């Protein structure tokens, strides 16, 4: 079994990625579980790609093994793409999910129809043991709900109503969310590359 280190301390994200990669014989762990929680990268890139590569490279330097880093943004039509690359700290550097959601709803007050359209984008970077970079992305379209709905998920999941489904990510099980989500799509695109990485490092 190969160990894959995720550049996150968010166990929800680790669980989500583990579910998607369950077909592979891998052990997915967070950097924090390995005592690498001192690695804190300033996500100052102008794009999701820049941030994900920066995080992955720093983690690779500290492990030398296979690592995964991702960056995700919520892009809202009415807000001209905001919160975008600043999604995790939309309401400030010390903000939590509730703070970010409250600010988003405040900024979307009285906004209706197509102006509430939005999309999630995830960029995932894998760096293998030879320091080769593999990149994929996934996009999920939807709209911002008028109020939070659902008890699952994290981040903006309770506000994001998935197109064609009519429910938020927070109203879905992990399995269903992975079927539609931006992160799930990005990981599935990496399936073939991931198999090759595991074979080459055997």
- C-alpha 44/C-alpha 46 separation (Å) is 7
Q: Is 158 exposed, middle or buried (0-12, 13-18, 19+ CB in 10 A)?
A: buried
Reply yes or no on whether 71 is catalytic.
Answer: yes
The count of structural domains within the chain is 1
Per residue, what are the HEC states of 43-101?
CCCCCHHHHHHHHHHHHHHHHCCCEEEEEEEEEECCCCCCEECCHHHCCCCCCCHHHHH
The proportion of the chain whose per-residue pLDDT surpasses 90, expressed as a percent, equals 62
Q: Which segment of 78-82, 130-134, 159-163 scores lowest on mean pLDDT?
A: 130-134
Residue 169: DSSP 8-state: G
Please tell me whether the peptide bond between 196 and the residue prior to it is cis, using omega within 30 degrees of 0. no
- C-alpha 181/C-alpha 163 separation (Å) is 11
- Which residues, other chains included, contact 98 with Cβ-Cβ below 8 Å and sequence gap of 6+? none
Which tokens sit at 95?
């903000």
**What does the pLDDT read at residue 38?**
75
**What does the pLDDT read at residue 5?**
92
State which H helix or E strand residue 196 sits in: helix 191-200
**What does the pLDDT read at residue 134?**
93
Which tokens sit at 151?
């008890």
Confidence of residue 81 (pLDDT cuts 50, 70, 90): very high
Confidence of residue 170 (pLDDT cuts 50, 70, 90): very high
**What does the pLDDT read at residue 200?**
65
For the segment 37-54, the average pLDDT, to the nearest whole number, is 86
- C-alpha 160/C-alpha 144 separation (Å) is 5
For the segment 41-57, the average pLDDT, to the nearest whole number, is 90
The proportion of the chain whose per-residue pLDDT surpasses 70, expressed as a percent, equals 98
Residue 195: pLDDT over 80: no
Question: Of 176, 109, 120, 192, which Cα lies nearest the Cα of 147?
Answer: 109
Confidence of residue 199 (pLDDT cuts 50, 70, 90): low
Q: Which of 27, 32, 44, 71 is catalytic?
A: 71
**What does the pLDDT read at residue 35?**
82
For the segment 94-98, the average pLDDT, to the nearest whole number, is 94
User: Tell me, what CATH number does 142's domain have?
Assistant: 3.90.950.10
> Which range marks the domain in which residue 143 is found?
2-200
pLDDT tens per residue across span 22-42: 888 888 999 888 888 777 777
pTM of the model as a whole: 0.85
**What does the pLDDT read at residue 109?**
94
Tokens 């999630």 map to which residue? Answer: 120
Confidence of residue 189 (pLDDT cuts 50, 70, 90): confident
Confidence of residue 175 (pLDDT cuts 50, 70, 90): confident
Question: Of 46, 40, 66, which Cα lies nearest the Cα of 125?
Answer: 66
- Give CA 189 to chain center in angstroms: 14
Residue 184: DSSP 8-state: H
């Amino acid at each position: 079994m190969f160990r894959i280190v995720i550049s996150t301390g968010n166990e929800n994200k680790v669980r989500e990625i583990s579910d998607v990669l369950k077909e592979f014989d891998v052990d997915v762990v967070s950097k924090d579980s390995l005592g690498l929680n001192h690695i804190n990268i300033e996500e100052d890139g102008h794009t999701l790609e820049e941030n994900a590569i920066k995080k992955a490279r720093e983690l690779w330097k500290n492990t030398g093994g296979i690592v995964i880093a991702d960056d995700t943004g919520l892009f809202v039509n009415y807000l001209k793409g905001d919160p975008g690359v600043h999604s995790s700290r939309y309401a400030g550097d010390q903000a939590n999910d509730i703070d970010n959601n409250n600010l988003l709803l405040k900024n979307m007050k009285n906004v209706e129809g197509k102006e509430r359209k939005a999309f999630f984008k995830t960029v995932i970077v894998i760096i293998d043991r030879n320091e080769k970079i593999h990149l994929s992305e996934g996009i999920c379209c939807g709209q911002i709900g008028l109020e939070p709905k659902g008890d699952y998920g994290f981040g903006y999941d309770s506000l994001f109503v998935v197109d064609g489904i009519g429910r938020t990510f927070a109203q879905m099980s992990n399995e269903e969310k992975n079927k539609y989500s931006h992160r799930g799509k990005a990981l599935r695109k990496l399936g073939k590359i991931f198999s090759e990485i595991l074979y080459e490092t055997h």
